[in-house]
Amino acid sequence: MNERVYHLWLSGTPGVGSVTFRKLVKIFGSPKAVFEATQKDLRNVHLSNDLVESIITSRKSFDGDSVASKLEKKGIGFMLLSDPDYPALLKEIYDPPAVLYVWGSILPSDETAFGVVGSRRMTMYGREVTHSLTYELASAGLTIVSGLAKGVDATAHRAAIDAGGRTIAVLGGGIFKIYPTENEKLAAEIANGYGAVISEFAPDEPSVAGNFPSRNRIISGLSVGILVTEAAVDSGSLITATSAAEQNREVFAVPGPITSPLTEGPASLIQTGAKLVFRAQDILDELNIEAKKRHLEVRSAIPATSEEQAILDLLELEAKHLDQIVRESGQPASVVSGLISIMELKGMVRQVGVAIWAKVS
């Protein structure tokens, strides 16, 4: 096997996390040397019986050439911790992944990355806040990092794409088994021109609950800061925020309505020192990041008529259902529907729910 493929074997061996991987390589010299070690050699370095058995069992079934061929066929590459293009920020954390499987591309510009996380059970408020803030951050040149989960994660990835920016999705399972399956198309869109889908787990490993804390440390490890837009107090998003704090990353949170349990997570973070965020510029200022000068057609759209301006005025403070816009505008439903369609094409408004529209700020 190619020397690099032995890294795939060792990192995918059950019981071998990133810390144990480094320990074994330090003892034996390389993953290949671990692969070739006798049972006696493995026991002589005081590994647990379970780990010794796991190493012996996994190497019997590992077909490196087949794994490499399958990755190549699916257009998936991988990075080793020792590679010069391995993300520099991620390399700084206590336990960086020994291997990163990459579908898509990680570019030097992705070093200025920012994590956006939150609840899978997102409210309309959470959707609007997440999309608006993430869109602005991506437009400013930050690469958006999240976990491809339902709710806030998927909305953050979508907002980065809508802004013509870049985004990195970090999986909690193998890259051959995108989870949740409903986000497979989003993952493909990200990989094919908008960034990368990455994982430290063996390609065929399913997403299980125990993997997500490991996934979360990668999200924060890749990022200069983390934003929690909406989350319950027991949300995994707060684990990501904790990882960020432990990695000396900045933590930001969005305040929300006190009647929502999904406000409690961000509120608790703010109480313990997270930076309160009202607008994307708050984050850019805190991180001392100068926004890139982007002249996006979507951002420069100007109302062509007084009727378009009237609809924008109605949506100034909150998203509204089409029926409500019709009532408040005093215009026939057919006229409002036509205007909304034109304004969506111009990038002035966007749909945030079934027949619910919001102003693109």
Which pLDDT tens digits describe the chain residue by residue (361 residues)?
788 999 999 999 999 999 999 999 999 999 999 999 999 999 998 889 999 999 999 999 898 889 889 999 999 999 999 999 999 999 999 999 999 999 999 999 999 999 999 988 888 888 888 998 999 999 999 999 999 999 999 999 999 999 999 999 999 999 999 999 999 999 999 999 999 999 999 999 998 888 888 999 999 999 999 999 998 888 888 889 988 889 989 999 998 887 888 888 889 999 989 999 988 989 999 998 876 544 334 444 566 678 888 999 999 888 899 999 999 999 888 888 888 887 876 778 888 777 888 888 6
The b/e string for 213-228 (b: 16+ C-beta within 10 A; e otherwise) is ebbbbbbbbbbbbbbb
pLDDT value, residue 113: 96
Query: Residue 290 and residue 213: Cα distance in Å, rounded?
Result: 32
pLDDT of residue 353: 77
Cis peptide, bond prior to residue 303, ω within 30 of zero:
no
Residue tagged 């002035």 (tokens): 348
**Dihedral angle of Cα 46, 47, 53, 58, to the nearest 10 degrees:** -130
Predicted pLDDT of residue 298: 40
For CATH 1.10.150, list the domain ranges present in the chain.
1-63
Q: Name the CATH code of domain 104-286 (choices 3.90.600.10, 3.40.50.410, 3.30.70.270, 3.40.50.450).
A: 3.40.50.450
- Give the model's pLDDT for residue 32: 95
What pLDDT was estimated at residue 85? 93
CA angle 344, 347, 350 (to 5 degrees): 55
The CA distance from 330 to 338, in Å, is 14
Region(s) of the chain under CATH 1.10.10.10:
297-359
Q: Is the pTM of this model over 0.85?
A: no
Fold (topology level) of 297-359: Arc Repressor Mutant, subunit A (1.10.10)
Which residues, 6 or more positions from 209, have their beta carbon under 8 angstroms from its beta carbon? none
Give the Cβ contact number of residue 260 at 10 Å: 13
Instruction: Give the amino acid at 227.
Output: L
Name the percent of the chain in helix, strand, coil, to the closest 5: 50, 15, 35
Q: Tell which residue, 238, 239, 229, has the closest CA to residue 152.
A: 229
**1-63 sits in which CATH class?**
mainly alpha
pLDDT the model gives residue 297: 40
At position 296, the amino acid (one-letter code) is L
